[in-house]
């Protein structure tokens, strides 16, 4: 456990600069838009852009970052050290995954905090249509957890794509992209194939989870989890496959 | 070298499977039949695909009744006034599931001078795969309260007092004499040929209002937050950041027109521009 925590600390330490830089950029954009809106130069709708830019950009950045955290081990030859460390491959992969999720968490908090600080009074009429503060906090938390889980899945695909591209050794960029596409397709198909096994799992009442009845009665959203469970299992399987390949077969050179 | 070949082989195999999968099971088949993540968003649109219907007709002489309440969902409510003293409601409960349909009915309740129609039943008490359409004809001068979620409300040639509460619903009123109160979110409001006091509260919608000449005229009080206001009514407009307030009178300014809108577009038209006095 101590070794794992050291690994995690190393990865978190490595991500502090991009994390700080992106946080600064996010706050900077929001502040700039807020000042322009306050001065009357831009319409209030520009606030949406200030929130949308980081919201759309950050997932792309984090996917690239998950690729980069592995790539940098090869570029700086620290992969040798990683492979001789007495830690299993899955712990190496997990620490990188958690560092990306931590980065996401910080940027999520910065984005939400920025919105509250800079735009809360502009959004006042919207707040008034929502049931209450606890409702907003609860749903924000659920959205955060859901996006965290989705991001984790995509990062696992990126890690696999990187490992396989290293094993193939040639046209690594193209191979990585293709493996990422195949991994996404593969887990969705596994989910469908395993779906009959999990039909006994009750549908998740999303409207209750998000307390949508407080917003508007009659709104019902149910999530059939049966196909999703196969997707989760397949994603977990790919995570272990990546770790296994890293530990046993990965090419250090190239 | 061996592991590289194996990896390459697996990749080629998966690629062949992927291409075969995409070609054999077309994309629209995925969408229609095999969701890897399946959302059931309900209340789903029941009416267009509903295979099962249950029609009930209610008819009453107006007598002591002065108020009508109709609560609908996932369907259409058509309302008009008639010269007849008869109150007539055609209610059609629709569902994609026959068993589910059996458990639902439109319930009629009367309290004092008010008569009410709404869906009741269902084993789980949760509206799912179920909707209701109403065709309502009321005697002139009645007070009508309509609640509708996910659907449409169409009112034509209405004479009386109309109170409408809509969510995710498009509302159209074509010809009204009397008064109208609308509380709407997430739907378009189209009020045409309105002759009488009006109160509109809406959010996230596009609202068009066309007022007819009326004795006593109108007194306008309009407030639009984070939205836009268009008018030909000669309002006195006070524009603040994110906030527009408009006032004006037409004629003697007897009948109030109160509009409160947020995150939407409001258009107010009058049929006599020259009659406006600021």
Tell me the pLDDT tens digit for each residue of A158-170. Answer: 999 998 988 887 7
Q: Are A36 and A50 in contact (CB under 8 A)?
A: no
**pLDDT at residue number B29:** 46
**Chain B interface, mutation test: which of A202, A205, A220, A229, most B Cβ atoms within 10 Å?**
A220
pLDDT in tens, A163-191: 898 888 778 889 999 999 999 999 999 98
Any idea which of A101-115, A144-158, B38-52 has the lowest mean pLDDT? B38-52
Helix (H, G, I), strand (E, B) or coil at A112: helix
The mean predicted confidence, pLDDT, of chain A is 85
pLDDT surpassing 50 at residue B18: yes
**pLDDT at residue number B178:** 94
pLDDT in tens, B256-278: 999 999 888 899 988 754 444 43
Tell me the shortest Cα–Cα distance from B240 to chain A, in angstroms. Answer: 10
Tell me the shortest Cα–Cα distance from A26 to chain B, in angstroms. Answer: 24
Helix (H, G, I), strand (E, B) or coil at A224: strand
Helix (H, G, I), strand (E, B) or coil at A230: helix
Chain A residues touching B128 at Cβ < 8 A:
220
Residue B134: name the closest of B168, B93, B104 by CA: B93
pLDDT surpassing 60 at residue B205: yes
Structure tokens at B122: 């269902």
B40–A224: do the CB atoms touch at under 8 Å?
A: yes
**Chain A interface, mutation test: which of B1, B21, B37, B129, most A Cβ atoms within 10 Å?**
B37
**pLDDT at residue number B35:** 44
Contact B260/A at CB under 8 A:
no
The mean predicted confidence, pLDDT, of chain B is 83
**pLDDT at residue number B79:** 96
**pLDDT at residue number B33:** 45
Rounded Cα distance, A76 and A78, in Å: 5
Question: In degrees to the nearest 10, what's the CA dihedral of A53, A56, A59, A63?
Answer: -100
Confidence of residue A237 (pLDDT cuts 50, 70, 90): very high
Helix (H, G, I), strand (E, B) or coil at A221: strand
Any idea which of A155-159, B7-11, B121-125 has the lowest mean pLDDT? B121-125
Confidence of residue B63 (pLDDT cuts 50, 70, 90): confident
Within 10 Å of residue B274's Cβ, how many Cβ atoms? 7
Candidate from A175, A220, A224 with C-beta closest to B43: A220
- Highest mean pLDDT (candidates A215-229, A237-251, B14-28): A237-251
Chain A residues touching B131 at Cβ < 8 A:
none
Q: Which residues pair with A223 in a beta bridge?
A: A204, B39
Candidate from A167, A221, A226 with C-beta closest to B41: A221
> What is the mean pLDDT of the segment spanning B190-219?
92
Contact A172/B at CB under 8 A:
no
Chain A residues touching B226 at Cβ < 8 A:
44, 122, 125-126
Confidence of residue B123 (pLDDT cuts 50, 70, 90): low
Contact B35/A at CB under 8 A:
yes
**pLDDT at residue number A36:** 86
Helix (H, G, I), strand (E, B) or coil at A223: strand
Rounded Cα distance, A18 and A11, in Å: 12
pLDDT surpassing 90 at residue A222: no
Contact A167/B at CB under 8 A:
yes
Q: What is the largest CA-CA distance in chain A?
A: 61
Rounded Cα distance, B266 and B185, in Å: 13
Tell me the shortest Cα–Cα distance from B239 to chain A, in angstroms. Answer: 12
pLDDT surpassing 90 at residue B177: yes
Residue A163: name the closest of A230, A84, A87, A73 by CA: A73
B242–A185: do the CB atoms touch at under 8 Å?
A: no
Candidate from B7, B41, B263 with C-beta closest to A164: B7
Count interface pairs A-B at CB distance under 8 A.
Answer: 97
Q: Are A190 and A201 in contact (CB under 8 A)?
A: no
> What is the mean pLDDT of the segment spanning A25-42?
86
Residue A22: name the closest of A146, A91, A96, A110 by CA: A110
Percent of chain A with pLDDT over 70: 94
Rounded Cα distance, B207 and B224, in Å: 11
The number of C-alpha atoms within 13 Å of B188 and in the hemisphere containing its C-beta is 7
Confidence of residue A145 (pLDDT cuts 50, 70, 90): very high
Q: Which residues of A173-183 are buried (b: 16+ CB within 10 A; e: fewer)?
A: eebbebbbebb
- Highest mean pLDDT (candidates A45-54, A189-198, B95-104, B193-202): B193-202
Percent of chain A with pLDDT over 90: 26
Structure tokens at B259: 């509009």
Nearest chain A alpha carbon to B149: A218
| DSSP secondary structure, chain B, as one string | -HHHHHHHHHHHHHHHHHHHHHHHS-HHHHHHH--SSEEEEES---GGG--EEEEEEEEEE-TT--EEEEEEEEEEEEEEEESSSEEEEEEEEEES-HHHHHTEEEEEEEETTEEEEEEEE-SSS---SEEEEEEEEEETTEEEEEEEEEEEEEEEEEEEEEEEEEEEEEEEEEEEEEEEEEEEESS-EEEEEEES-EEEEEESSEEEEEEPP-TT-EEEEEEEESSEEEESS--EEEEETTEEEEEEEETT--EEEEEEEESSEEEEEES-GGGEE-
pLDDT surpassing 60 at residue A87: yes
Chain B residues touching A222 at Cβ < 8 A:
39-40, 42
Q: Are B111 and B173 in contact (CB under 8 A)?
A: no
Rounded Cα distance, B68 and B62, in Å: 10
Residue B85: name the closest of B134, B136, B137, B135 by CA: B137
The region, left, alpha or beta by phi > 0 then psi within -120 to 50, assigned to residue A133 is alpha
pLDDT surpassing 90 at residue B199: yes
Confidence of residue B36 (pLDDT cuts 50, 70, 90): very low
pLDDT in tens, B153-172: 999 999 999 999 998 889 99
Tell me the shortest Cα–Cα distance from B180 to chain A, in angstroms. Answer: 22
Confidence of residue A4 (pLDDT cuts 50, 70, 90): confident
A44–B7: do the CB atoms touch at under 8 Å?
A: no
Any idea which of A26-30, A82-86, A157-161, A220-224 has the lowest mean pLDDT? A220-224
Contact A168/B at CB under 8 A:
yes
Is the interface score ipTM higher than 0.90?
Answer: no
Length of chain A: 254
**pLDDT at residue number B161:** 96
């Amino acid at each position: 456990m101590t070794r794992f925590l050291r690994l995690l600390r190393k990865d978190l330490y490595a991500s502090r600069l991009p994390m700080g830089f992106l946080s600064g950029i996010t706050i900077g954009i929001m502040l700039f838009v807020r000042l322009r809106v306050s001065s009357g130069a831009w319409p209030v709708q520009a606030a949406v852009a200030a929130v949308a830019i980081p919201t759309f950009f950050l997932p792309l950045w984090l996917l690239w970052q998950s690729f980069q955290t592995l790539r940098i081990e090869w570029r700086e030859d620290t992969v040798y050290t990683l492979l001789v460390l007495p830690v299993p491959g899955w712990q190496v992969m997990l620490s990188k995954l958690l560092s990306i999720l931590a980065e996401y968490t910080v940027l999520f908090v910065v984005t939400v905090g920025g919105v509250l600080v800079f735009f809360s009074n502009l959004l006042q009429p919207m707040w008034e249509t929502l049931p209450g503060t606890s409702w907003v906090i609860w749903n924000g938390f659920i959205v955060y957890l859901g996006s965290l889980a989705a991001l984790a899945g995509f990062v696992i695909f990126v890690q696999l794509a990187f490992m396989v591209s290293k094993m193939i050794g040639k046209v690594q960029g193209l191979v990585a992209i293709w493996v990422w596409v195949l991994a996404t397709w593969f887990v969705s198909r596994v989910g469908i194939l395993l779906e009959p096994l999990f039909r006994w799992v009750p549908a998740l009442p999303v409207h209750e989870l998000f307390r949508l009845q407080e917003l508007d009665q009659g709104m019902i959203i149910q999530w059939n989890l049966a196909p999703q469970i196969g997707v989760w299992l397949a994603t977990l399987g790919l995570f272990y496959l990546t770790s296994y390949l890293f530990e046993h077969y990965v090419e250090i050179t190239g | 070298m061996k592991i590289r070949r194996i990896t390459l082989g697996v990749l080629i195999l998966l690629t062949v499977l992927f291409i075969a999968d995409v070609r054999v099971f077309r994309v629209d088949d995925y969408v229609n039949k095999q969701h890897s993540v399946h959302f059931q968003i309900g209340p789903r649109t029941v009416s267009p695909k509903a295979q099962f219907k249950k029609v009930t007709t209610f008819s009453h002489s107006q007598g002591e009744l002065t108020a009508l309440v109709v609560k609908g969902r996932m369907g259409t409510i058509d309302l008009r006034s008639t010269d007849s003293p008869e109150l007539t409601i055609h209610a059609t409960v629709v569902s994609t599931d026959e068993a589910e349909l059996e458990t639902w009915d439109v319930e009629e309740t009367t309290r004092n001078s008010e008569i009410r129609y709404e869906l009741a039943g269902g084993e789980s008490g949760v509206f799912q795969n179920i909707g209701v359409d109403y065709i309502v004809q009321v005697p002139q001068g009645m007070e009508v309260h309509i609640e509708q979620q996910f659907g449409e409300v169409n009112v034509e040639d209405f004479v009386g007092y109309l109170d409408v509460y809509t969510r995710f619903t498009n509302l159209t009123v074509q010809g009204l004499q009397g008064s109208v109160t609308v509380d709407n979110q997430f739907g378009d409001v189209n009020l045409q040929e309105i002759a009488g006091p009006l109160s509109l509260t809406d959010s996230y919608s596009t609202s068009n209002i066309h007022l007819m000449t009326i004795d006593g005229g109108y007194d306008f009080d309009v407030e639009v937050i984070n939205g836009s206001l268009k008018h030909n009514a000669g309002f006195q407009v006070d524009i603040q950041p994110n906030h527009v307030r408009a006032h004006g009178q037409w004629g003697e300014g007897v009948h109030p027109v109160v509009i409160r809108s947020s995150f939407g577009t409001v258009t107010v038209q009058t049929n006599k521009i020259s009659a406006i006095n600021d």
